[in-house]
């Protein structure tokens, strides 16, 4: 379960892109359900009272293991009517595996009106690590040999395998991945040009991740960094998908519409006992403030001049967010 303290920190980054009064749609991740996002919803409503926040109740828990293209189809059917009723557009917050589902939606839906796509701790560049999820789902395998399962027709019917990216078997990944390799335009796709145009309809892309994630491996995958063949992390700006602008990532960066937000305390599946105290409130001038305290640690670092977070004396930061933005 995600704790209130963790979601408080997330809310700071989310709100720094002016979630404001456009409808907010939240897509959950692997093994999650709407119940896991009560605190995030509460913090959004605290900051912007009256905001319509919808946490989609679809492909919950074990159903989240279904193929991602099937999930894209199902979520699109539910999201599209919300978009049609929002003349000014919507904001999309997508958690963990849900971030990849949302990329599929944004790439294949030609008339979406998503203003901000907020990818929260999502393996956007793929996953390669011996996590508890892996041990639970594939007890006979470790990261070094899971490709024997994932890079098969049967394996591609399991959501995790749709984005399992083994850096030691890149050719097999590209030739076998029915999902992520297609979204990244690393595999031949007759729809690649249209998908890129569709994806670039978004006004902002916010990539939130952190070194203490505990699930996404490497954690930099949440910001499109990933391992090379030596398992050395290559940052986003040196990745082929960025340099060649295969699906629009570099275009967003050039436009100034790509925000990276890194958080040391973002731990998936935590119980909230992270040693962080978060308070929030509203002032008479119409602004909302967030104040966080944690001994000996920086809660939030902005690696891309996005002003998502700022450290103040005594290891505190304070974030002012105007309610007048859109």
How many CB atoms lie under 10 A from the CB of residue 19? Answer: 24
User: What domain range is 187 assigned to?
Assistant: 4-270
At residue 178, the 3 state secondary structure works out as: coil
Contact yes or no for 309/299 (Cβ under 8 A): yes
Assigned domain for 318 exists: no
Position 9 in a domain: yes
| 308 occurs within a structural domain | no
172: in domain? yes
Contacts with 146 (C-beta within 8 Å, 6 or more apart), sequence order: 134, 138, 164, 166
pLDDT tens by residue, the chain, 326 residues: 344 445 555 655 655 555 457 999 999 999 999 999 998 898 888 888 889 999 999 999 999 999 999 999 999 999 999 999 999 999 999 999 999 999 999 999 999 999 999 999 999 999 999 998 899 999 999 999 999 999 999 999 999 999 999 999 999 999 999 999 999 999 999 999 999 999 999 999 999 999 888 899 999 999 999 999 999 999 999 999 999 999 999 999 999 999 999 876 554 543 333 333 333 333 334 333 333 333 332 332 233 333 344 333 223 222 322 222 35
Please give the tally of structural domains in the chain: 1
Q: What is the CATH number of the domain that holds 52?
A: 3.40.50.1820
8 A C-beta contact, residue 118 and residue 99? no
Most distant CA pair in the chain: distance in Å?
A: 60
Look at residue 281 and tell me if it is in a domain.
no
């Amino acid at each position: 379960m995600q704790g209130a303290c963790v979601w408080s920190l997330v809310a700071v980054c989310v709100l720094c892109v002016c979630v404001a009064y456009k409808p907010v749609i939240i897509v959950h991740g692997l093994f999650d359900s709407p119940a896991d996002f009560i605190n995030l919803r509460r913090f959004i409503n605290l900051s912007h009272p009256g905001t319509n926040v919808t946490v989609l109740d679809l492909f919950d828990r074990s159903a989240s293991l279904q193929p991602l293209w099937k999930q894209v189809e199902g979520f699109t059917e539910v999201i599209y009517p919300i978009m049609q009723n929002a003349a000014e557009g919507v904001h999309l917050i997508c958690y963990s595996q849900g971030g990849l589902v949302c990329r599929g939606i944004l790439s294949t839906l030609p008339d979406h009106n998503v203003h901000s796509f907020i990818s929260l701790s999502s393996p956007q560049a793929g996953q390669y690590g011996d996590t508890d999820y892996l041990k639970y789902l594939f007890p006979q395998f470790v990261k070094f040999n899971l490709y024997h399962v994932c890079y098969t027709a049967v394996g591609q019917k399991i959501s995790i395998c749709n984005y399992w990216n083994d850096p030691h078997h890149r050719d097999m990944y590209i030739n076998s991945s029915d999902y992520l390799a297609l979204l990244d335009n690393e595999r031949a796709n007759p729809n690649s040009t249209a998908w890129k145009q569709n994806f670039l309809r978004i006004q902002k892309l916010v990539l939130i991740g952190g070194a203490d994630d505990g699930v996404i491996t490497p954690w930099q995958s949440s910001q499109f960094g990933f391992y090379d063949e030596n398992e050395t992390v290559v940052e986003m700006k040196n990745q082929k998908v960025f340099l060649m602008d295969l699906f629009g990532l570099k275009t967003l960066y050039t436009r100034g519409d790509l925000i990276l937000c890194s958080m040391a305390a973002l731990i998936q599946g935590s119980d909230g006992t992270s040693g962080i105290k978060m308070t929030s409130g509203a002032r008479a001038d119409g602004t909302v403030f967030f104040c966080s305290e944690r001994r000996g640690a920086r809660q939030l670092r902005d690696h891309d001049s996005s002003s998502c977070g700022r450290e103040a004396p005594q290891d505190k930061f304070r974030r002012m967010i105007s309610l007048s933005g859109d």
